[in-house]
Amino acid sequence: MNQLILVPSKSRYELEIEKYGSEAVASRRYAARERWRDIKEGHDTQKRNLDYLVRRLENDIFIDRSELTDEVIRNNGTFVFVGGDNHFTYCSQIILHYLQTHTDEDKSVVGVVLDANRSSGALLNYDVNSFLSSVDRIRKGTITKEQWTTLEATVNNGSNRLVTPAVCDYFVGEYSNLFMSRNDIFKAEISGKVLPEKSSGILVVTGAGSSPGSWYDNIHQCYFSTPDHFARDEESAKIILRENKSKAKTTLQKGKVLIIDSYNDTRGIIAPDSHEDHSIPFEMGARLEIRISNLKLKVVRP
């Protein structure tokens, strides 16, 4: 029977203890005591659910996401990301990055929300109980797999550099909202700029990134008073400027190239799915090219 690799997230409580060294030091930083109580309660729930998974899946492997190495990916086929949406996209990016140089390999991912009462898990198809009910079919591969569209990009600031693939979106602009983002935006097949230069950043969004409550969904509904949800397997991306009264929006189709020239003069970045660890600089004079990737994220669903 196929072994699963399960990658649970750390709770906010665990991250705070790691950051500050002890519960006593961490808790003193919370003047809003109800927030600290909520963090501890969330940790207790997540730990109970994770312990339950470990007991039920004693023959499978549980690892930290720092251990999701090329060797682990190469030797396994199905990866279960247990936590919330941010953890899911972070780990999925690692799988996609591996597949960029191993295009003949077949890898699938499963999203399981660890605390369904505190996290909606908009991208996650399972909670703990529904996952356990489906786990035998997942092992056997007799279950549906969605093929999500993903984004890829290269940035040239003197030499070409691959950007980590994105599941939901690329943010392009200044790292801090204190500073205005300045970028010229082109489509390779069209002469002239396609969007205004100044904004508080650019979002390039897949169908997965258009889900209700997403960053894109909030911006679009603010601009146009209507949602713009599109399918996760649709081979296009939407480009929208944040907080720009022109309500600037356009579409990137498969096979086309979006070109962005940076005039960011403080700390421009390209951030895949808002993950700072996987972001790279996009400073004055750099050029970014974004495409719909040929890589699909294969996501198991009920």
CA–CA separation, 87 and 102 (whole Å): 23
Under 8 Å between Cβ of 235 and 224: no
Number of H helices, E strands in the chain: 7, 17
Within 57-149, residue ranges assigned H as helices are 70-74, 85-99, 128-140
The topology (CATH level 3) of 150-294 is Tumour Suppressor Smad4 (2.60.200)
Q: What integer pLDDT is reported at residue 77 of this predicted model?
A: 95
Weakest mean pLDDT among 88-102, 149-163, 243-257, 276-290: 243-257
Q: What integer pLDDT is reported at residue 242 of this predicted model?
A: 84
Q: What integer pLDDT is reported at residue 280 of this predicted model?
A: 94
The topology (CATH level 3) of 5-143 is Rossmann fold (3.40.50)
CA–CA separation, 204 and 159 (whole Å): 23
Rounded to the nearest integer, the mean pLDDT of the chain is 92
List, in sequence order, every residue forming a beta bridge with 299; answer none if it has no partner. Answer: 109, 146
Q: What integer pLDDT is reported at residue 192 of this predicted model?
A: 65
Grouping H, G, I as helix, E, B as strand and the rest as coil, residue 108 is: strand
How is the chain split into domains, by residue range? 5-143, 150-294
Under 8 Å between Cβ of 40 and 115: no
CA-atom Rg of the chain in angstroms:
20
Residue 120 pLDDT level (bands cut at 50, 70, 90): confident
Mean pLDDT of 66-77: 97
pLDDT at 183 over 90: no
pLDDT at 1 over 60: no
List, in sequence order, every residue forming a beta bridge with 112; answer none if it has no partner. Answer: 82, 126
Report which secondary-structure segment, H or E, holds 20.
helix 12-20
